[in-house]
C-alpha cells in the first residue's frame, strides 16, 4: 500500500508540474475546450493541490467561473474528496511518523481524537462543516485516528459539500460579472439571471447557518475547539 501511495504521489506531483498554473485563466479556458479530457486534467490539478497542502479555494472559484455551478461542483467535489483521501492514507502510512511529530502535544487534536473514539462519523462531518484545523492539515491528521476509510470518505463528502458548492457558485457568478465587464453578455435570460442571483444569496445564507450550527455542535462535543 505504501509503495502504491508513493507512486500516486509522484504522479500527482508530475501533473502539478506539467500544468502551467501561473496561467490559470488561459489554462481553464483551454481545459474547457477539451471536454472530458480537460475536466480530468483540472481535476488532477485539484487533487495534487490538496495532497501538496496548497489551499484550493481560488482554484475552486476559477473552476466555477469556467464550468458553472453544477459542472463545477461535479469536478471539485469528487476531486477534493479524492485528494483528502490520499492525504488521509499517506498520513496513516507513508508519512505516519512525520504527522505524529506534527500533532504531538496538540491538546486540540487530542480532544478531537477522543471525540472520534465516541462518535467518529458525526464528529468528522462537524469538523468538515466547521473546520478547527486548516483543511490541508487535517486531512493528514485524520490518518492518526481510528476512522475507517469508508467512514472518512463518506463523512468528508457530506461535510465538504456545502462549502464546495458555495465556492463554485461564487465563482460562477464572478464569471458572469467578468463577462459583463468585458462587454460580453452571459448566455442567460433575465429570469435565469435573477434565479442565479437568488440562488447565490440562498447558498451563502444556508452555508453560513449550517457552519454556525456545526460550530455550536462541535463545541459541545469538543470543548477545546472553542
pLDDT confidence of residue 2: 45
Q: Cα–Cα distance between 143 and 110 in angstroms, integer? A: 13
pLDDT confidence of residue 62: 83
Length of the chain: 226
Cα within 13 Å of Cα(172), Cβ side: 23
- If we measure between CA atoms, which residue out of 73, 93, 89, 100 comes closest to residue 157? 73
Cβ–Cβ < 8 Å for 88, 142: yes
- If we measure between CA atoms, which residue out of 117, 110, 125, 127 comes closest to residue 147? 117
**How is the chain split into domains, by residue range?**
2-225
Residue recorded with cell 508519512: 95
pLDDT confidence of residue 28: 66
Q: Cα–Cα distance between 60 and 62 in angstroms, integer? A: 5
Residue partners of 94: CB distance under 8 A and separation at least 6: 2, 5, 6, 9
Cβ–Cβ < 8 Å for 135, 57: no
pLDDT confidence of residue 186: 55
Task: Divide the 226 residues of the chain into consecutive groups of 10 and give the mean pLDDT of each group.
Answer: 46 46 61 81 87 82 84 93 94 88 83 85 88 81 91 94 88 63 53 66 77 80 67
SS3 102: helix
* Phi, psi (degrees; rounded to nearest 5) at 15: -65, -40
Structure-block grid coordinates of residue 133: 484545523
Single pTM value for the model: 0.77
pLDDT confidence of residue 76: 94
* Phi, psi (degrees; rounded to nearest 5) at 112: -65, -45
pLDDT confidence of residue 172: 81
Q: How many helices (H) and strands (E) does the chain have?
A: 9, 0
* Phi, psi (degrees; rounded to nearest 5) at 198: -65, -40
Assign residue 217 a region (left: φ > 0; alpha: ψ between -120 and 50; beta: otherwise): alpha
Amino acid at each position: 500500500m505504501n509503495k502504491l501511495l508513493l507512486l500516486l504521489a509522484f504522479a500527482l506531483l508530475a501533473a502539478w508540474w506539467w500544468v502551467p498554473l501561473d496561467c490559470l485563466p488561459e489554462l481553464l479556458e483551454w481545459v474547457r475546450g477539451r471536454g472530458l479530457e480537460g475536466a480530468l486534467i483540472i481535476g488532477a490539478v485539484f487533487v495534487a493541490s490538496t495532497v501538496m497542502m496548497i489551499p484550493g479555494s481560488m482554484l475552486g472559484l476559477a473552476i466555477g467561473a469556467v464550468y458553472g455551478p453544477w459542472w463545477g461542483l461535479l469536478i471539485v467535489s469528487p476531486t477534493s474528496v479524492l485528494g483528502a483521501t490520499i492525504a488521509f492514507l499517506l498520513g496513516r502510512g507513508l508519512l505516519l511518523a512525520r504527522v505524529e511529530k506534527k500533532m504531538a502535544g496538540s491538546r486540540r487534536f487530542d480532544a478531537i481524537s477522543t471525540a472520534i473514539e465516541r462518535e467518529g462519523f458525526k464528529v468528522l462531518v462537524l469538523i468538515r462543516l466547521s473546520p478547527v484545523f486548516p483543511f490541508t492539515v487535517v486531512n493528514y491528521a485524520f490518518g492518526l485516528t481510528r476512522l475507517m476509510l469508508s467512514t472518512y470518505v463518506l463523512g468528508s463528502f457530506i461535510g465538504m459539500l456545502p462549502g464546495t458548492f458555495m465556492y463554485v457558485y461564487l465563482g460562477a457568478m464572478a464569471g458572469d460579472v467578468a463577462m459583463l465587464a468585458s462587454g460580453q453578455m452571459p448566455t442567460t435570460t433575465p429570469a435565469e439571471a435573477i434565479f442565479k442571483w437568488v440562488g447565490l444569496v440562498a447558498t451563502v445564507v444556508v452555508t453560513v447557518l449550517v457552519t454556525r450550527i456545526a460550530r455550536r455542535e462541535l463545541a459541545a462535543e469538543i470543548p477545546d475547539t472553542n
